[in-house]
Structure 1
């Protein structure tokens, strides 16, 4: 395992880990999380793939040299990470906001992406269930009441933002895409189905009786879905 800090051109330090061998596979965590989200997955996946994990700016062990946090900025960060690590292309697996970032990154830099795995993506705030909306709005109110904690405010604000993606953008994704969601997910199933239908080469898997954090609650099943898709078995 290799880990360290990548300094971006704006001075932001991004924490990353690298392990395993095989095809390149980036694992992108969700909002407010960090690379440890995938702790139950990396053991099995590293036997098959060359894994890269990062903490987004304003998350985990990474900082943020700018008073700004958007999916477009994080996509630019990821492109710079590819450049600094001399990665010509990679497969991308994203969870929740990580899936949203994976979509933005793929549309902006398609030449860098091989296959795409999206776990619980949501391109619109309206695509989340009522309880999720309440939690997200509550987080924003809580952090904005406090006088400091700018990092937390920036991260929480992402929960309310729609992705700047059109149906044309989604239809233009010319990659093999696996979309995975739990039947009890915080993201509405009809919203995820619409995302899948917008992408020509996508396959949707709905895991029964599973919630939002599928990779942690059902790691063996999740890993199996990833390996089968990556190896062309589904």
Structure 2
């Protein structure tokens, strides 16, 4: 069980075999679209599809451009879709001994600079959501709107299902592959984002989670409650991979967030002037 879960989380090919249809375009390995940007001492691999308003898709831990296959297919006729292999993932190599979200966030920001993209819509899955939050905190001008699914601020027991802690400890003990160890350590020890940093986010944010997510619902509510312009969506009957499990519902909610004015009106705002 531990090995199959490890493979599921860290292997793009397995997750796509479960969740995605066979694409007609070889996303993640497309010579017609694939390019490299030299930034921060590494070469970041990226692909771009479509035209119009830029939409950046950021994959999760162990993923790659290919992980975003269903979302590229859905959005490439609506936006200019930009997808990168984060540092240490896919075709983007890591030259250091460890990975940090700070590094990966700086890499993405630098690639956007090279592409002359001042701001964009952003969607991030899990670790991609963490990077999206870091972009909104550290490089706020880059973020027009941000949606995250299964993101977290810290890897603590009050945030993550305690069974994951046991699984991570076992995996770290049993794994000898240095690449996989980097990804596991990233999950175990990072991120370390103070809740107070969320106050720096000026862009509208959609916090998404599954009601069976590995990230505790209370933590998603904590993030939602501390971001000035935020909405919260809890997908019923969904896990950490809800965007793949219920794509029609996912796209309906995300389309609504990307295209309509965000509402932060409370019930009290509506009823406070009512007279009885």
Give runs of aligned pairs for residues 1-234 of structure 1, distance below 5 A: 2-10=33-41, 12-126=42-156, 127-143=159-175, 146=176, 149-232=177-260
Q: CA deviation at 1:210?
A: 0.6
Distance 1:98 1:178, change over 3 A: same
Moved more, 94-103 or 32-41: 32-41
Q: Which has the higher contact order (CA 8 A, sep 6+)?
A: 1
* CA distance in structure 1 between the partners assigned to 2:162 and 2:84 by the alignment: 30
RMSD of equivalent CA atoms = 1.6
Instruction: Figure out how many residues of one structure are paired with residues of the other and give that number.
Output: 229
Deviation by residue 1:178-199 (Cα, 9 ceiling, x = unmatched)? 1111111111101111111011
Q: Which runs of 4+ in 1 moved over 6 A?
A: none
Give TM-score, length-normalised by structure 2.
0.79
Distance 1:152 1:31 in 2: 10
Q: Name stretches of at least 5 consecutive residues in structure 1 with no aligned partner.
A: none
| 1:41/1:215 contact within 8 Å kept | no
Deviation at residue 233 of structure 1 after TM alignment: 6.1
SS at match of 1:40: helix
**Superposed displacement of residue 215, structure 1:** 1.7
How far, CA to CA, are the matches of 1:33 and 1:167 in structure 2? 26
* Bigger Rg, structure 1 or 2: 2
Q: Tell me, yes or no, if the aligned pair for 2:149 and 2:209 is still in contact at 8 Å.
A: yes
SS at match of 1:179: strand
Q: CA deviation at 1:132?
A: 2.2
Point out the more displaced range, 95-104 or 216-225.
216-225
| TM-score, length basis structure 1 | 0.92
Task: After TM superposition, give the deviation of residue 104 of structure 1 in Å.
Answer: 1.1
